[in-house]
């Protein structure tokens, strides 16, 4: 069974870069950009609207759920 974010060619291959890891983990470009920005400037989380925070949280929950399968 193929998990989201993986193709049959990716099965068993370790990521060779951060971009590979993000792609293999099924992280979308919007969430990846947020995570990169957040690691450099964590204060951006507090300046976001509640709606935007919930969107980010939902995206993160979806990615974490794929690891539980």
CB 17 within 8 A of CB 27: no
Q: What is the dihedral of CA 30, 31, 33, 37, to 10 degrees?
A: 140
Helical H runs in the chain? 18-25, 29-40, 50-68
Residue 5 has pLDDT above 60, yes or no: no
Mean pLDDT check: name the lowest of 6-10, 14-18, 56-60.
6-10
**Other residues' Cβ atoms within 10 Å of the Cβ of residue 34:** 20
Tokens of 69: 């399968």
pTM of the predicted structure, to 2 decimals: 0.61
Phi/psi of residue 29, nearest 5 degrees: -60, -35
Average pLDDT over residues 7-28: 73
């Amino acid at each position: 069974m193929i998990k989201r974010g993986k193709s049959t060619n990716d099965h068993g291959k370790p990521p060779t870069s951060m971009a590979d890891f993000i792609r293999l983990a099924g992280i979308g470009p919007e969430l990846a950009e947020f995570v990169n920005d957040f690691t450099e400037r964590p204060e951006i989380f507090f300046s976001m609207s509640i709606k935007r925070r919930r969107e980010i949280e939902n995206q993160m929950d979806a990615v974490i759920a794929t690891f539980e399968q």
